[in-house]
């Protein structure tokens, strides 16, 4: 069973913020939300992760709702190089959990 639901595709304009939604309504209290992206012909790349607080790094911001049933990845100023498939993954960070369970992701196309 899929643990996350993402829209299959979205477009955004270069230079604008891209807001990528993810639903994870069955998330458990000890599960983190992870985001990876995969640029065409490359392997996935880690972006960011969070538990319940909002997080920001040099690549993106992650906003998690208070009930933790959904989250939004924000690319503040999208560039053409941000065109990729973005995967939202929920994962327990514990000693015997290491697999990443990818869904189909959201194909994001940044247009000039």
Contacts with another protein, residue ranges (CB under 8 A): 34, 41-46, 49, 85, 87, 93-105
Least distance in angstroms from the C-beta of 91 to another protein: 9
Nearer to another protein, 67 or 94 (CB): 94
If DSSP states are collapsed to H, E and C, what string results for the chain? CCCCECCCEEEEECCCCEEEEEECCCCCCCEEEEEEEECCCCCCEEEEEECCCCEECCCCEEEECCCCCEEEEEECCCCHHHCEEEEEEEEECCCCCCCCCCCCCEEEEEEC
Nearer to another protein, 61 or 102 (CB): 102
Least distance in angstroms from the C-beta of 112 to another protein: 25
Least distance in angstroms from the C-beta of 52 to another protein: 16
Degrees, nearest 5: CA angle 91-94-97: 60
Nearer to another protein, 70 or 87 (CB): 87
Least distance in angstroms from the C-beta of 38 to another protein: 8
């Amino acid at each position: 069973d899929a643990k996350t639901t993402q829209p299959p595709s979205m477009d955004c304009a270069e230079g604008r913020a891209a807001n990528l939604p993810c639903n994870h309504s069955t998330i458990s209290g000890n599960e983190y939300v992870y985001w990876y992206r995969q640029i065409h012909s490359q392997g996935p790349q880690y972006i960011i992760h969070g538990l319940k607080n909002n997080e920001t790094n040099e690549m993106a911001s992650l906003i998690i709702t208070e009930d933790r049933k959904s989250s939004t990845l924000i690319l503040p100023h999208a560039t053409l190089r941000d065109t990729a498939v973005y995967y939202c993954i929920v994962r327990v960070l514990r000693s015997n959990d290491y697999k990443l369970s990818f869904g189909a992701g959201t194909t994001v196309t940044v247009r000039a």
